[in-house]
Chain A
Amino acid sequence: MEKKSNRVLSAIESVCYKFRYLFLILYVALMVIVPFLDIKLVHAQVIILIGVYAMLGMGLNVLIGYTGLVSLGHAGFYAIGAYTCALLETKLGVNFWLALVASGVLTAFIGFLLGLPSLRLSGSYLSIVTLGFCEIVTMILKQWESVTNGNYGVRNIKQPVFFGIKLDMYNGGLIVLMLVLCLIVGVASLAIRNSNAGRAFRAIKDDELAANMMGIHVSRYKIMSFVISAFITGIAGGFYCVTRNYIEPGSFNFDVSILILSVVIIGGLGTIRGMVFGAAILQLFPQVFRFLDEWRYVVYGLLLIVMMRFRPQGLLGWQSTQPYHLSKKTKQILEADGGTSEPLEAAGKTEGGSEQ
């Protein structure tokens, strides 16, 4: 049964792969159309939350899906991003776009600091540290009243303005911004995955000692993945704060960390499509099954258990059946050689050091 479902998925994958540019065009077209659609406020809010959680998922995915470091404290990064953006805007009157970048940068710096203990700790021990981190962040947000306004939260966060157009819920501007940010984060995640750094991350996840022996500076890359993950999460937080009128420490508690983690696990570790899918499911489920009242969370929990039993790799997580993408340049080099070269030639043999 599982084999069959995999075959169906890989068929879908190959179709998607074939038409990937078409999908990209459709995606861009969607951005153009959205402002002309009449989207109800409730719907817009859910759509935006899906986007935010897709981004949060992609952020955590860099850490868990690529490098294999489990963080239970991503709500902490999320909060830092949201508060940075909100406070810069409301207290210092900084432009949203600058504040958004600042959220990413500051959160990335905190990510760097939190990444340091990851060099000495592994597995569950590291997760506990991140858990503590999240608690500390919420505690600071609650207690540092002179800056964060404590439990009252930050109010009157202004909506971003783009060349004179105010982006809000009613004109669909925030949805467009969400689509743009998701696209950038998604493309960047993929670009990182298929590069030297991405391979280093995944090598560390699979076998740390072997990665070390292949010349990968394991600690450097672990910190780097913390920084990237925190940066993306910070951006998501910065964006989230402008979609609300106000934010409060309670929006960033441990439950949120778990929700982000669920997005990653349910969607499918290591994949980008999985993050979007996981975010959509987790945000839509409580809405669609509203008629079940409190029971929906019981059903939700049961579904999670069933899923972990039958599809532990995540709903959209499977080993790709598509061939590894070779760039045009690679093919050119291979063709130019035509199989005549001696690929195994040892480095430095021609330097004249061979045996007499």
Chain B
Amino acid sequence: MSGFLEVSHIKMQFGGLAAVDDVTMHVDKGEIVSLIGPNGAGKTTVFNMLTGVYNITSGEMSFEGQDLKSMIPQDIVKIGISRTFQNLRLFPKMRVIENVLVGTHVRTKYNFWDSLLRTPRFRREEAEHTARVIQILRSIGMDGMRNSFVNSLPYGDQRKVEIARAIATDAKLILLDEPAAGMNPAESEELLRFIRELRDKGYTILLIEHDMSVVMNISDRIYVLDHGKLIAEGLPQEIANNPKVIEAYLGGEQKNVKNN
């Protein structure tokens, strides 16, 4: 099957450094695909390319047949790709419910005058969005905290809010950048269950993860990046036994000691 997310030969050049070089990958609808690799391999750069943060140097990317290359981030969200960030990027001075409501921004059709005059259109749409946001929060067990301000929440909960915000954009493809980072084993176990649940509900997930055990558990397929190049792809078992991957990871660990 083709045509969901198709990426071919993309390259991102920063001065003399090719952060991502000639990466070709695809994600099919309903899959959980992981992108792994040692620190600095270019995983987050791939996400930034997909979501329009960077203008890619060369290559082609498309989502459901639409060319992503020429799109601005706002349009990319609109056609159904949403993401979370490696280092949480929430709106700390807004409430949990307001943070997630920001996710509905691209689906909002009423205009400024509607909101100023509180027209029926405004009331209806705002009510629908708020109800949907509360339902999303319920489904991740965060409804009890909807009134809290994000800066007062524990780390794990903030991650959940970020995922809820991504869901609220009505995304079809959700890009999760190290969602389990900083979580304790119990929390990350719960997160994995939640990600699987998302897949079962019809979402497609592209996941960046550092932790091999997490990835092996959950992924349908895995891509491995090292120094900006794709060094392997395949099913979890294939990746686990791939000598190149083992070398990249073990070699990587010896060369630069992980600091987390």
Contacts and interface: CB of A to CB of B under 8 A. Distances in A.
Given A214-B169, A343-B135, A207 B116 contact: no
Given A195-B122, A324-B98, A354-B30, A344 B147 contact: no
A217 interface: yes
Given A195-B126, A199-B105, A354-B202, A343 B136 contact: yes
Interface string B57-87: 0000000000000000110011010110100
Contacts of A207: 89-92
A214 B95 contact: no
Contacts of A188: 116
Given A210-B90, A213-B83, A329 B116 contact: no
Contact of A346 (B31, B51, B106, B203): B203
Interface stretch (A20-28, A102-110, A334-342): A334-342
Interface in B1-23: 1
A214 B130 contact: no
A268 to B, nearest CB: 13
Contacts of B103: 214
Nearest to A347: B170
A58 interface: no
Interface in A182-214: 188, 191-192, 195-200, 202-203, 205-207, 209-214
A322 B172 CA distance: 34
Contacts of A327: 123, 126-127, 130
Nearest to A217: B74
Given A192-B116, A203-B94, A213-B53, 6 more contacts: A196-B108, A214-B169, A327-B126, A334-B135, A343-B135, A348-B80
21 contacts: A192-B112, A192-B115, A195-B122, A196-B105, A196-B110, A198-B115, A203-B91, A206-B90, A207-B91, A212-B74, A213-B85, A214-B103, A215-B106, A217-B74, A324-B97, A324-B147, A334-B134, A344-B197, A347-B80, A348-B172, A355-B31
